[in-house]
Amino acid sequence: MRALVFPPAHDWTMLRVATLEAERAGFDGVLVGDHVWMLGRPRLEALSTVGALAAITTRISLGLGVLSPSFRAPAVTARAIATLYEVSGGRLRAGVGAGADEAEHQRADIPFGSPGDRLRQMERTIRAIKDACSDVPIVIGASGDRALALVARYADEWNCGATYLDRIDDRVRRVSALTAHLETPVLRTVNMPIQLGASQDDAFARRHNLHLALHGDVEAMIRRLREIRGLGFDGVWLGAQAPGAFERALELLPRIKELPYARKKTDACTRPGMTAEEVVRSTLALTSSGDADAINDCFALELIEQNAAGFSGWARMGPVRDVQIRSLGTRGGRYDIGATWIFERDPGGAWGFPQAGQFFTVGLEGERLRIFELATGIGKFPR
């Protein structure tokens, strides 16, 4: 199961230290919320903060969790997202919500608008982002019925916020129905605050369903996350900004990574009767996605375990500038493929060259794309 974290962010020094520790520990991503004030305290501005984090990190995904579209004009947001995607080497995930905190808007003297107004602004913002930077993954962090229709239309990932934890079963069924026709499944994540003590704000605790968040010791929290995984979620956003919560997130991380997926994200990516070209394209789409968990879900795990520098290794070494892939022939319905990975920089920091090569045999097993043979090399390969 994927694990992303909201690290402590009361000031830049605290956030910088926690983010570097999150990258070192192996979190899949760090998240930055978009608030002017929260719990009575001013917050770091989201977009400029992500730019600063991009400058001090090298591997970890950077997520906006999530933008309030009413804070900025869509075109301004879109240009900022495109810039951050380039500056981060493609590590940005653009989270967009509906901006549901009326009191924050009033304090910042920003028009709040009706629910319909905010949803229309959210859709305009998403469209502007897609026009400005079509490669950036879109994460929609809103779970009302009309918002979920936008998930089916635009999203690469849906995040269920804590305010919907009391209706999470219904929201999952709704998303499943709306996205069943999609060839590429929408990733599902859930926002789960780590609650180690009583909340200082009862109204905030009720609104964010903190009684349904992560409580107790590590074992109790893992039991709760197993329940979440069982609903079909691919990952969790850990809210770790309260005192002691980030340290608990670090304790939880290895246990979360051991939780298997409740569903296979790649089932809809292949079908019987694929041509050699379609198999190659499907393989390329997966291996260049940078999603190690999706790759491991799809391919033969025992082969990856035998070759630690295989697909999951490359997926974590990006950014990848190019993948040159070619078909080397067919054998009994299976396809021999050669690939040369061209990284933006030396991925290992010590190899002295930014290339890696793979030779593998793929084929269909039922409706799943599987790797049957895999060999990996490191060096300078013909271009």
Highest mean pLDDT among 30-39, 96-105, 241-250: 241-250
- pTM value surpassing 0.85: no
| Residue 270, pLDDT above cutoff 70 | no
The per-residue pLDDT for 265 is 42
Query: Tens digit of pLDDT for each residue in 220-258?
Result: 999 999 999 888 898 999 999 999 999 999 999 999 988
CA–CA dist 304, 295 (Å, integer): 10
What rounded mean pLDDT belongs to the chain? 80
The per-residue pLDDT for 350 is 45
The per-residue pLDDT for 201 is 74
Confidence of residue 19 (pLDDT cuts 50, 70, 90): very high
Pairing assessment for the beta strands 334-343 and 320-331 based on DSSP bridges: antiparallel
Phi, psi angle pair for 91, to nearest 5°: -90, 0
Give yes or no for a contact between 269 and 299, defined as CB atoms under 8 angstroms apart.
no
pLDDT: which is higher, 189 or 305: 189
Residue type, 81: I
The per-residue pLDDT for 103 is 82
Q: Where are the alpha helices (DSSP H) in the chain?
A: 12-25, 46-56, 74-87, 102-107, 115-132, 145-154, 168-179, 202-207, 218-230, 245-258, 276-287, 292-298, 301-306, 311-315
Query: Tens digit of pLDDT for each residue in 159-183?
Result: 999 889 999 999 999 998 898 888 7
pLDDT: which is higher, 25 or 316: 25
The per-residue pLDDT for 62 is 97
Q: At what angle do helices 74-87 and 115-132 cross, to 10 degrees?
A: 40
DSSP secondary structure letter of residue 194? B
The per-residue pLDDT for 327 is 63
Query: Tens digit of pLDDT for each residue in 44-64?
Result: 999 999 999 999 999 999 999
Q: Which domains does the chain have, with CATH numbers?
A: 2-258 (3.20.20.30), 267-378 (3.10.450.50)
Nearest to 256 by CA among 307, 290, 303, 214: 214
Query: Tens digit of pLDDT for each residue in 322-357?
Result: 556 566 666 666 667 666 656 655 544 444 455 666
CA–CA dist 335, 370 (Å, integer): 11
| Residue 72, pLDDT above cutoff 50 | yes
Task: Name the percent of the chain lying above pLDDT 90.
Answer: 50
Q: How many CB atoms lie within 10 A of CB 328?
A: 12
Query: Tens digit of pLDDT for each residue in 110-123?
Result: 998 898 999 999 99
CA–CA dist 30, 249 (Å, integer): 12
Highest mean pLDDT among 101-105, 118-122, 278-282, 296-300: 118-122
Mean pLDDT of 283-300: 52
Phi, psi angle pair for 207, to nearest 5°: -65, -35
